[in-house]
Amino acid sequence: MSQIKILVVDDEARLRKLVRDFLVRENYDVIEAGDGQEALDAFSDNPDVALILLDVMMPKLNGFDVLKTIRQLSDVPVIMLTAKGEEDDELQGFSLGVDEYISKPFSPKVLVARVNAVLRRSGEAPSNENLLSVGGIEMSIDAHEVVIDGKRLDLSVKEFELLEYFLRNKGLALSREKILNSVWDYDYFGDARTIDTHVKKLRSKMGDKGDYIKTIWGMGYKFEVEE
């Protein structure tokens, strides 16, 4: 099966490389463009592009001008990258046919999840969607979504990663140190009590299912589902 092709358009070479690296790890074929005109040329040369990541502010042609031209030719899904809080940009983009927005700075993991979700909606999703289902909790890693009793939870990136870690380690006693090293990575130098804060917020958002996260006093936590 051929790789799904994604066009990444941004005038910041370092950001393009970061995005490319994360997408390549997910087995996507990535094409880069450094400005609006390059984007149109690349799209013309690669009509099989399945999705475009498109920056708003660029030299030669901005993202909106690029999008207008592309929409005359194709309904390929487009995710626009915009400065945080630029609501007017988002409204203009949606009126031109943007599928989704991501504000800079963004987490590469979240970006990949959004790409997967948009491609799935367009029928181009990779076939290895990562799904977890435990005790009535449905988690899609690719779509970065959690659904409990038909209701989608609004989780921060770290809350999502913490819940994923609990689901994958159901029934195991997990020390705060182990959770910190696994979810926050080994280069985190903050207070381990940040775990308690995140667990408290996660429990609250999970409603009755929050009771699945058991406290092991003096040690850490255990995710335990009563069958």
In tens, the pLDDT along 4-36 reads: 899 999 999 999 999 999 898 888 999 999 999
Percent of the chain whose pLDDT exceeds 90: 44
* Block residue for tokens 């799209």: 43
Provide the 10 A C-beta neighbour count for residue 144.
21
Task: Tell me whether residue 80 is in a domain.
Answer: yes
Q: Both 84 and 140 in a single domain? A: no
**Is the model's pLDDT at 1 over the cut of 50?**
no
What would the mean pLDDT of 101-115 be, rounded to a whole number? 83
Q: Both 101 and 204 in a single domain? A: no
Q: State the total domains in the chain.
A: 2
CATH number at residue 151: 1.10.10.10
pLDDT at 88: 61
Q: Which of 121, 153, 178 is the last residue of a domain?
A: 121
- Rounded to whole angstroms, what are the CA distances from 10 to 34, 38, 179? 5, 10, 36
pLDDT bucket at 101, cuts 50 / 70 / 90: confident
Q: Both 78 and 103 in a single domain? A: yes
Cβ-contact 69, 38 below 8 angstroms: no
pLDDT bucket at 92, cuts 50 / 70 / 90: low
Q: Both 113 and 198 in a single domain? A: no
CA distance 17 to 140: 26
pLDDT at 127: 47
pLDDT at 208: 93
Strand partners, 33: 9
Q: Both 117 and 25 in a single domain? A: yes
Task: Tell me whether residue 81 is in a domain.
Answer: yes
Task: Tell me whether residue 126 is in a domain.
Answer: no
Q: Both 101 and 194 in a single domain? A: no
Angle at the Cα of 29 from the Cα atoms of 145 and 71, rounded to 5 degrees: 75
pLDDT bucket at 114, cuts 50 / 70 / 90: confident
Q: Both 14 and 111 in a single domain? A: yes
Task: Tell me whether residue 95 is in a domain.
Answer: yes
**Is the model's pLDDT at 169 over the cut of 80?**
yes
Q: 123-149 pLDDT, tens per residue?
A: 765 544 577 888 889 898 877 889 998
CATH number at residue 111: 3.40.50.2300
Q: Both 43 and 142 in a single domain? A: no
pLDDT winner (highest mean) among 8-12, 177-181, 185-189: 8-12
User: How does the average pLDDT of the chain come out, rounded?
Assistant: 85
Q: 145-162 pLDDT, tens per residue?
A: 899 987 889 998 889 999
What are residue 26's phi and psi, to 5 degrees? -90, 10
Q: Both 9 and 73 in a single domain? A: yes
Q: Both 109 and 29 in a single domain? A: yes
What would the mean pLDDT of 107-129 be, rounded to a whole number? 74
Q: Which of 121, 152, 174 is the last residue of a domain?
A: 121
Task: Tell me whether residue 107 is in a domain.
Answer: yes
Take residue 174 and report the two structure tokens written for it.
């997990």
Of 11-25, 63-77, 110-124, where does mean pLDDT reach its minimum?
A: 110-124
Task: Tell me whether residue 213 is in a domain.
Answer: yes
- In which domain, by residue range, is 181 found? 131-223
Q: Both 107 and 30 in a single domain? A: yes
pLDDT at 181: 82
What are residue 203's phi and psi, to 5 degrees? -55, -45
Task: Tell me whether residue 67 is in a domain.
Answer: yes
Q: Which of 121, 145, 161 is the last residue of a domain?
A: 121
Q: Both 42 and 72 in a single domain? A: yes
Select the more confidently predicted residue: 183 or 201: 201
